[in-house]
A and B are shown apart, each in its own frame.
Chain A
Amino acid sequence: MKDKVLAILEGVRPDIDYATEDNLVDGGVLESFDIVAIISQFESEFDIEVEPQYLTAAHFNSLDAMVSLVETLQK
């Protein structure tokens, strides 16, 4: 699943090195329209709904954080 998440991220912003970045939102690397594109694709790819309470920087700051968010929401 990590590979799928990474593929989505690289599709949205190919210029970012997701292996090392751990401050994607707080560091201003991802912009709001990037996040929205990522969320839409998570929702259709993993059949989940990312509700507003999960829309915090902490859940989107790194590849690993997003992977665990998707895992949580799939349960």
Chain B
Amino acid sequence: MKNILEWLENSTAKYPNKTVYSNLEYSLTFDEVSCLAKSVGSAIINLDLPEGPVAVVMGKEPKMIASYLGVAYSGRIYAPIDVTLPIKRLNSIFDNLEPAAVVTSEALKEKVQGILEQVGKSEVKVLTVEELEKTPADQAKLDAVRENMTELDPLYIIYTSGSSGVPKGVIASHRNVICYIRAYVKVMGITDEDILGNQSPLDYIAAIRDIYIPLYTGASSFLTPKEFFMQPNKLFDALNNAGVTSIGWTSSSMTLLDTLHAFKNDTLKTVNKVCFSGSVMTKPVLEYWTTNLPNAKFVNQYGPTEATASCTYYVVDEHTMEYDSVPIGKAYDDYKIILIDEDGKVPEEGELGEICVTGPTLALGYYKNLERTNQDFIQNPVNNRYRELIYKTGDVGRILPDGNIEFHGRKDRQIKHMGHRVELDEIEAAAATIAGVGENAVIYDDKNEVLVLYYVGEATIKELSAGLRGIIPGFMVPRKMINLESMPKLPNSKIDLKELERMYSNEG
């Protein structure tokens, strides 16, 4: 087993006419996805494109996934791109990616061409899945590509927030995804009878579960429309109609559904497995869910994109509420966790340390950013005997007496906001480019999930808010903006963030 497509091929042989992916509009069987992916793969090979990854831009639909797999058949890396992002962000992503082509749908073709022009990449070929799927599969060429690949070949590039304002493209290999999916399926107990209810946009890391678990197990995935998450009645109806049994959602979407009283007059009739991840799950929200779905298995998952979506898992049981916070648990299969303290040593038992991860699930690094890759993926400082790379998550934790890991926040200024990874530095850098904005600093009120921007300058809050929306995604635009005469400073003339936090909490 060295290529994720072997799973697709095995499951297609076993369940050819079974639905593998569906949304409210249509569904595709294993056989249909296989044929489509092979056609897309063959077409890309035939085109003799310049070197480079293939960007995929599409709505949340089964054909988007089939296109990813098609790119994988061609032996290239796929990179999902969300074209609703602000143009400046798309610009830096396309500059880093330099795609050989973009695969999209007929419906989005014009929009994609427009964006490529705006980011100065109009020479990049735009291909539509409707055209590509007409190409007959060329098995000999597909086999030849496969023969030259190893399990360490890259499969995808997924972009995440970068502190300098330039998104980082995390590259994962076939082996990374194979190991993670196998470990997750084992913990959750997913079989070919399960139907997964997807939440994540397909360009996000969390979607790799909804994409690859069906290929491994013969299960199927229902792609939920994004806007249903603010209309719980519609969401629950859709999931109940689809017979969804297993969900892997962000803690923040589960919090959101609690806020919206989702279970008031309704329930999820068929869901019996729930995994939550992405940010800290609070005990009251967990209790809301376990009370409403008393027969379901609940699992807390923790981990960064750089370790292929995860590191650790914790199965909720009758003792969970006795902990100070919901533990992040223990390492999955094919993951190893080490805590490292400030001195580069393993901390004393029960003491805090940075959570570091190693194993065959470590991503290949950041695309075309070797410098940053070498900073974050380093030789294990407590192993001087052989080469062992670890990824420093930047998260702090400690090991409890029962072996579970307890999460203790970040070392740096990266936060988790509404399920998204956000670098506060990136928001500040964006604000500084807006006319009439001088010094500025962002703090995070994690209790209320609110980003707060303090700034100096004559720009109005309205101008600042509108300006930021042109540079960074909506969820990163601070909800609270406060204009100051001057910024509080530390003796070294840096902005005093602690003082800003005090000012904010005094304001109530």
Contacts and interface: CB of A to CB of B under 8 A. Distances in A.
Q: Do A and B come from one complex?
A: yes
A32 B201 CA distance: 14
Given A15-B466, A51-B261, A56 B479 contact: no
A40 B255 CA distance: 12
A5 B481 CA distance: 19
A36 to B, nearest CB: 5
Contacts of B418: 33
A31 B230 CA distance: 9
B461 A51 contact: no
A32 B232 contact: no
A14 B233 contact: no
A37 B260 contact: no
B419 to A, nearest CB: 9
B259 A40 contact: yes
Given A35-B230, A51-B265, 8 more contacts: A15-B462, A15-B469, A32-B227, A32-B230, A33-B474, A37-B479, A52-B261, A56-B231
B259 A36 contact: yes
B465 A39 contact: no
A36 B231 contact: no
Interface of B: 226-227, 229-233, 256, 259-262, 264-266, 418, 461-462, 465-466, 469, 474-475, 479-481
Interface of A is mostly: helix
A61 to B, nearest CB: 13
Nearest to A49: B261
**Interface range on chain A: under 10, 10 to 19, 20 to 34, or 35 or more?**
20 to 34
A31 B479 contact: no
B358 to A, nearest CB: 35
Contact of B232 (A14, A31, A49, A55): A55
Centre residue among B230, B261, B481 by max chain A CB count within 10 A: B230
A52 B265 contact: yes
Contacts of B232: 52, 55
B231 A55 contact: yes
A53 B226 CA distance: 18
Contacts of A34: 474
A39 to B, nearest CB: 7
A39 B262 CA distance: 13
A12 interface: yes
A49 B264 CA distance: 11
Given A32-B230, A36-B260, A14 B461 contact: yes
Counting from the closest, the 6 A-B pairs by CB-CB distance are A15-B465, A15-B466, A32-B230, A52-B232, A14-B465, A14-B461
B460 to A, nearest CB: 8
Interface string A32-64: 111111011000000001111101110000000
Given A31-B475, A39-B260, A13 B229 contact: no
Contacts of B264: 51-52
A32 B233 contact: no
A49 B262 CA distance: 12
B256 A32 contact: yes
Contact of B265 (A13, A39, A49, A53): A53
Interface of A: 11-15, 31-37, 39-40, 49-53, 55-57
Nearest to B463: A15
Contacts of B262: 52
A40 B450 CA distance: 13
8 contacts: A14-B481, A31-B474, A32-B229, A33-B418, A36-B230, A36-B260, A53-B265, A55-B233
Nearest to B235: A52
A51 B475 CA distance: 24
A16 B462 CA distance: 8
B260 A14 contact: no
Contacts of B260: 36, 39, 50, 52, 55
B379 to A, nearest CB: 40
Contacts of A55: 230-233, 260
Nearest to B231: A55
A36 B474 CA distance: 14
Nearest to B230: A32
Nearest to A26: B227
B479 A12 contact: yes
A24 B481 CA distance: 22
A63 to B, nearest CB: 16
Contact of B475 (A12, A13, A33, A56): A33
Nearest to B468: A15
Centre residue among A34, A36, A51 by max chain B CB count within 10 A: A36
B231 A39 contact: no
A53 B261 CA distance: 10
Contact of A52 (B227, B266, B461, B479): B266
Nearest to A13: B465
A62 to B, nearest CB: 16
A33 B256 contact: yes
Contacts of A37: 479
Contacts of B475: 31, 33
Nearest to B256: A36
Contacts of B230: 32, 35-36, 55
A31 B232 CA distance: 15
Nearest to B227: A32
Contacts of B265: 51-53
B427 to A, nearest CB: 15
A71 B56 CA distance: 46
